[in-house]
Amino acid sequence: MLLDAKLLMSNQQAITATAASTDVIDRGDVKDVGKDGSIPLLVQVTEAFNTLTSLTIDVQTDDNSAFSSPRSLFSTVVPLAELKAGYQTPVITLPQKTERYLRVNYTVTGTAPTTGKVTAGVVAGVQTNG
């Protein structure tokens, strides 16, 4: 899958505690992006995790960059057994009513990991293996 550096929310981001993505995507407007088709998002583990019980991946939107009142667009809980390099969340597409700003919030459950990295962002297309 093709990633554009300007559309990344996390780039090999080390997740050692609950945290938001290092970057936010500013869509620049409030137009409904989900109405005319799907805009795919990729969240992929780039370095295996250790010690935690699970990682919750939550794609959030808000009308301000401070995310004072974020709204969840997609959330999934991934158990440690799946958090190996190369793991990808199921295809995520932005729904209607997406606000101007987008980020990913990562919630660690269990013991904080000492290893584990994630890359997340908008992709040009979705490749399916099978």
- Per the DSSP assignment, residues forming a β-bridge with 121 are 8, 42
CB 32 within 8 A of CB 98: yes
> Given this model, what pLDDT does residue 130 score?
45
CATH number for the domain running over 3-40+48-115: 2.60.120.1110
* pLDDT digit string, tens, across residues 7-33: 899 999 999 999 999 999 988 776 655
Look at the chain and count its residues: 130
What is the model's pTM? 0.87
* pLDDT digit string, tens, across residues 41-77: 889 999 999 999 999 999 999 999 999 999 998 899 9
Q: Is the dihedral of CA 106, 114, 23, 43 positive or negative?
A: negative
The DSSP call for residue 90 is: S
